[in-house]
Amino acid sequence: KNAKEAISLHPTLFPQHWTLEHYVDIFNPLIFPFVDYFRNSMVVSVVSSVVAVFLGTLGAYALSRLRFKGRMTINASFYTVYMFSGILLVVPLFKIITALGIYDTEMALIITMVTQTLPTAVFMLKSYFDTIPDEIEEAAMMDGLNRLQIIFRITVPLAMSGLVSVFVYCFMVAWNDYLFASIFLSSASNFTLPVGLNTLFSTPDYIWGRMMAASLVTALPVVVMYALSERFIKSGLTAGGVKG
């Protein structure tokens, strides 16, 4: 719909005059730097998700396969994460980020997103690793493989469905985050899409069609990623919930 029809007193389900002007506007850097915000969101989401999955794989494998003192206590501590809201981490994270001198940088948000998603990544991956028979790894050890080789050559390929599920989860959390991005980023050039979209509502002459167009395009990467990885996600969640 055009701008006039979008705010009409008599709304219609389908536009009377079809137009793509709002989509053209959001890709015009003079009107809205959508591409810059998109790049920032993509960098933060992909990097933080990869780091969370990598560290989560190592941590989950240790809790699933290794036997050491305090393992059960550490394992139980991951359940307590769900008892607290992420807002409780704002003050300590802010102090750490300012002390490191990385305030208002993508690195600040990457560290924050890893902190947010890593406990859940470990919890989900451990449940999946528990379904992989120990006999497979024991046979690999008899063939001369060390622990790291077993993880990356045996366990990780077998757990690919779980890894994809965790990656998509971490990506969605980072992509949709507004709270931490609005606190730890102050320069418009570093804004991610959720914070950037909010600037459209802060202008006195905001245009509803432009906001809806930007919101729709912002949601597309997550929708496309889920559609492409749906098969892995379904099998990963199913296997992770059953002890084999």
Q: Which of 215, 199, 205, 204 is nearest to 32 (CA)?
A: 199
More confident residue, 98 or 228: 98
As given in the structure block, the two tokens for residue 74 are 């550490």
- What local confidence, expressed as pLDDT, does residue 243 receive? 44
Res 170 pLDDT > 90:
yes
CATH number of the domain located at residue range(s) 17-240 in this protein: 1.10.3720.10
Res 105 pLDDT > 80:
yes
Predicted structure pTM score: 0.84
φ/ψ (deg, to 5) at 14: -110, 145
Report d(CA 158, CA 110) in Å as an integer: 28
**What pLDDT digit, counting tens, does each position of 172-209 carry?**
999 999 999 999 999 999 999 999 988 887 766 677 78
Residue 16 burial by Cβ neighbours in a 10 Å radius (0-12, 13-18, 19+)? exposed
Do residues 163 and 125 lie in contact, with contact meaning Cβ atoms separated by under 8 Å?
Answer: yes
**What pLDDT digit, counting tens, does each position of 33-65 carry?**
999 999 999 999 999 999 999 999 999 998 888
Mean pLDDT computed over 96-115: 94
Res 244 pLDDT > 50:
no
What single-letter DSSP state applies at residue 154?
A: I
The percentage of residues in the chain with a pLDDT greater than 70, rounded to a whole number, is 89
Res 236 pLDDT > 70:
no
Please report, for the chain, how many H helices and E strands are present, in that order. 13, 0
The percentage of residues in the chain with a pLDDT greater than 90, rounded to a whole number, is 36
Domain ranges of the chain: 17-240
CA torsion angle for 71, 76, 79, 81 (degrees, to 10)? Answer: -70
